[in-house]
Amino acid sequence: METVDQLGSVEIASAVASGELSAVEVAEASLAAIEAREPAVQAFIEVSAALALDAARATDAKRAAGERLGPLAGVPVAFKDNMHLIGTHTTCASRMLEDYESVFTATCVRRMLDAGATPVGKANMDEFAFGSSTETSYFHPTMNPWDTGRVPGGSSGGSAAAVAAGEVPLALGSDTGGSIRQPASFCGVVGLKPSYGAVSRYGVVAFGSSLDQVGPLGRTVADVAVAMDALTAGGRDPLDSTSRDLDAAFSATLDQGIEGMRFGVVADLMEAEGLTEEVRAGLRLAERALEDAGATRVEVELPNISSAIAAYYVLGPCEAFSNLARFDGVRYGYQEPGCATLAEQTAKSRARGFGMEAKRRQMLGAYLLASGVYEQYYYPAQQVRSLITADYERAFESCDVILMPTSPRAAFAFGEISDPTQMYLSDTFTISNNIAGSCAISVPVGLGAQSGLPIAAQLQGPAFADALLLRFARVLEVQVGTLGVAPSFAGKGSVPR
């Protein structure tokens, strides 16, 4: 018998709108799945059952009254725990904010709720989004549903794992250097980093303000497209000065095909150090799939992409140091008791409230912004940013999208990577896109022949070509297929339809 966890967001919303399913039934199914699967996955920091059931009842009441329902009517959604939602804590997976209760709701969350989504909880993450494995969470690690001895990626690891385990069909994450796409790759789901400015960041706790972007993770490209319809509804958010109107109909144009279009391939990246053979095989499969759909392969160059990680780990820590200065135990955050002076209280509160990676990045940012060092590193990093952005602009004169790996390998085991600099290399193929501010998506292309774990391809598009990017992703998905819920979790604890 088909179970609710086998349905995508579009199918759930359609079934709720027609009365075939009630929103309460779907919410209860999602909550049952979470209860059954969380001991093995630990994707959530907080489950908001009361909020979910209240929202579901409101959706059912609207349908009973004959009111028009939104495109996400009754769809259970998990929100990364750096997104404010009244009625929940917003902890950023840190001791620093362990007890912080949201006093407002982020615009991205509000737009999902306005579209009818059911908020089932807050997903685990790397502390303050600093990490690529969700191992830096203060509360607990999250397990990869495909192999619970392996990481789900990060920093949006909880969001990706919740979708892959069938707990929810849709989740929101944030992406500063690959934090949506890399966990999507590891967990075998679809993850979109929209163009910078496409989705409001108001109410999302900042890591790197010039790099952060909110985006959806779903089981299918259609899930992601309908989420983008909701996230961009209403246009520019006046509460986020970087946001803008995005005149695009994501779901409506999803199946228009790519006949006669061009996708670019960067030959050097296919020989990059650390890229596994099973990932190369997945990329070759993706190339053939796009060509079979009528697109033409062209070779393009991104000559400065090798400098992206160096630039990112100057710009990111500098912005993080500035953004996290407010968490001092006075204005916000954990407060160390028994201190004699304000200086002592601030020092001890920050020392004991932040984890090791959060402290490492802030200390690096403090150093890089110091007098005499700033000019040596920060200015050159901004110059590299301009060069990388110009490289992309030139490349997109020759093609509509660029095909490249998402991650150099499949998910790694817990504890396998202990050197921070090696962990940072997990984002080798994703960081340049954040630096340029353009859009990118990770799409599963099967299971690796050696690892048996999900492998993904990444498609990158020009800024504000998000709808076209989703068309390419949809074609790739149709040609290659989807992975769905991780087999050991499919059907476990869900309600039969």
Q: Which of 240-249, 459-468, 485-494 has the lowest mean pLDDT?
A: 485-494
Provide the pairing of β-strand 454-461 with 401-405.
antiparallel
Buried b vs exposed e over 436-475: b needs ≥16 C-beta within 10 Å?
A: bbbbbbbbbbbbbeebebbbbbbbbbbbbbbbbbbbbbbb
The two tokens of residue 464 are: 């504000």
The two tokens of residue 450 are: 């050696």
Indicate if the pLDDT at residue 316 is higher than 80: yes
Dihedral sign (CA 75, 443, 228, 248)? negative
pLDDT at residue 398, rounded to an integer? 98
What is the distance in angstroms between the CA of the first residue and the CA of the last residue of the chain?
Answer: 7
* Mean pLDDT, residues 238-245 taken together: 95
Q: CB neighbours of 419 closer than 8 A, spacing ≥ 6?
A: none
pLDDT at residue 497, rounded to an integer? 58
- If we measure between CA atoms, which residue out of 79, 97, 77, 90 comes closest to residue 173? 79
Indicate if the pLDDT at residue 18 is higher than 80: yes
Q: From CA 13, how far away is CA 4, in angstroms rounded?
A: 12
CATH code where residue 243 lies: 3.90.1300.10
Q: From CA 240, how far away is CA 233, in angstroms rounded?
A: 15
Catalytic residue (choose from 48, 159, 179, 494): 179
Catalytic residue (choose from 30, 132, 155, 200): 155
Q: From CA 209, how far away is CA 206, in angstroms rounded?
A: 6
Contact 480, 228 (CB under 8 A): no
Domain-embedded: residue 215: yes
Q: From CA 205, how far away is CA 193, in angstroms rounded?
A: 17
φ, ψ of residue 491 to 5 degrees: the values are: 85, -15
Is there a catalytic annotation at residue 155? yes
191 beta partners: 217, 442
Q: From CA 45, how far away is CA 42, in angstroms rounded?
A: 8
Indicate if the pLDDT at residue 247 is higher than 80: no
Indicate if the pLDDT at residue 496 is higher than 80: no
Residue 3: pLDDT band (50, 70, 90) is: low
Indicate if the pLDDT at residue 49 is higher than 80: yes
pLDDT at residue 141, rounded to an integer? 98
The pLDDT tens digits for 384-439 are 999 999 999 999 999 999 999 999 999 999 999 988 888 988 899 999 999 999 99
Domain-embedded: residue 291: no
How many structural domains are present in the chain?
Answer: 1
Q: CB neighbours of 32 closer than 8 A, spacing ≥ 6?
A: 493, 494, 495
pLDDT at residue 1, rounded to an integer? 35
Domain-embedded: residue 460: no
pLDDT at residue 304, rounded to an integer? 97
- If we measure between CA atoms, which residue out of 222, 215, 161 comes closest to residue 191? 215
Domain-embedded: residue 228: yes
Domain-embedded: residue 84: yes
Indicate if the pLDDT at residue 383 is higher than 90: yes
Q: From CA 35, how far away is CA 26, in angstroms rounded?
A: 14
Lookup result for tokens 């050696």: 450
User: Helix-strand-coil percent breakdown of the chain, rounded to 5?
Assistant: 40, 15, 45
Indicate if the pLDDT at residue 270 is higher than 60: yes
Q: Give the three-state DSSP class for 10.
A: helix
Domain-embedded: residue 26: yes
The residue segments making up the domain with residue 149 are: 4-253+473-480
Maximum CA pair distance of the chain?
Answer: 71
pLDDT at residue 426, rounded to an integer? 86
Q: From CA 167, how far away is CA 44, in angstroms rounded?
A: 10
Residue 249: pLDDT band (50, 70, 90) is: confident
Average pLDDT for the chain: 95
Is there a catalytic annotation at residue 179? yes
pLDDT at residue 492, rounded to an integer? 72
The pLDDT tens digits for 145-199 are 999 999 999 999 999 999 999 999 999 999 999 999 999 999 999 999 999 999 9
The pLDDT tens digits for 194-222 are 999 999 999 999 999 999 999 999 999 99
| Residue-wise DSSP of 323-384 | HGGGBSSSSBS---SS-SSHHHHHHHHHHHHS-HHHHHHHHHHHHHTSTTTHHHHHHHHHHH
Is there a catalytic annotation at residue 492? no
Catalytic residue (choose from 80, 200, 442, 451): 80
The pLDDT tens digits for 74-131 are 999 999 999 999 999 999 999 999 999 999 999 999 999 999 999 999 999 999 999 9
- If we measure between CA atoms, which residue out of 414, 404, 412 comes closest to residue 445? 404
Domain-embedded: residue 212: yes
Domain-embedded: residue 394: no
Q: What predicted TM-score, i.e. pTM, was given to this entire model?
A: 0.97
